[in-house]
């Protein structure tokens, strides 16, 4: 499942070009050993791994990517791995491009346990928006 910085890139929410493909796998899933493309694995709980999954064709191949609001919440959950500035940029762009509403993002943040982390940024962007 494509997640974090790779999902932000897929949804057009960052200028970052990830050096590796960020993939979400389950807590007990076998970790693939890639040949060629560098990947970065992040382990998700089963509940968070199955929520808000979209399938998009990429060069004729169906690829599973988390939705915009969930991607933003996940970026704040894993802000220590990807950097807080990347999470904030994704949030700003999602709101600016109207790809997710503040309510959608707040709900996904609540479900993912990062509502208190994301709330001040969300409130500041709404107030200044």
Give the Cα separation of 72 and 86 in Å (integer): 10
What are the backbone angles phi and psi of residue 50, rounded to the nearest 5°? -105, -5
Residue 129 has pLDDT above 70, yes or no: no
- Residue 78 is predicted with a pLDDT of 97
Instruction: Mark 72-111 as b/e (b = at least 16 C-beta within 10 Å).
Output: bbbbbbbbeebeeebbbbbbbbbbeeebbebebbbebbeb
- Residue 62 is predicted with a pLDDT of 97
Spell out the residues 6+ positions from residue 10 whose beta carbon is closer than 8 angstroms to its own.
2, 56, 65
Share of the chain above pLDDT 90, in %: 87
Q: So where are the chain's domains?
A: 4-128
pLDDT in tens, 70-100: 999 999 999 999 999 999 999 999 999 999 9
- Confidence (pTM): 0.93
């Amino acid at each position: 499942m494509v997640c974090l910085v790779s999902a932000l890139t897929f949804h057009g929410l960052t200028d970052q070009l990830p050096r590796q493909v960020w993939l979400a796998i389950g807590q007990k899933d076998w970790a693939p050993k890639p040949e060629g493309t560098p990947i970065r694995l992040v382990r998700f709980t089963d509940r968070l791994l199955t929520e808000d999954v979209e399938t998009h064709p990429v060069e004729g191949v169906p690829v599973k990517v988390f939705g915009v609001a969930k991607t933003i919440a996940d970026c704040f959950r894993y802000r220590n791995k990807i950097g807080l500035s990347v999470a904030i940029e994704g949030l700003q762009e999602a709101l600016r491009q109207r790809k997710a509403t503040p309510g959608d993002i707040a709900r996904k943040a609540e479900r993912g346990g990062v509502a208190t982390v994301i709330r001040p940024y969300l409130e500041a962007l709404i107030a200044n928006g």
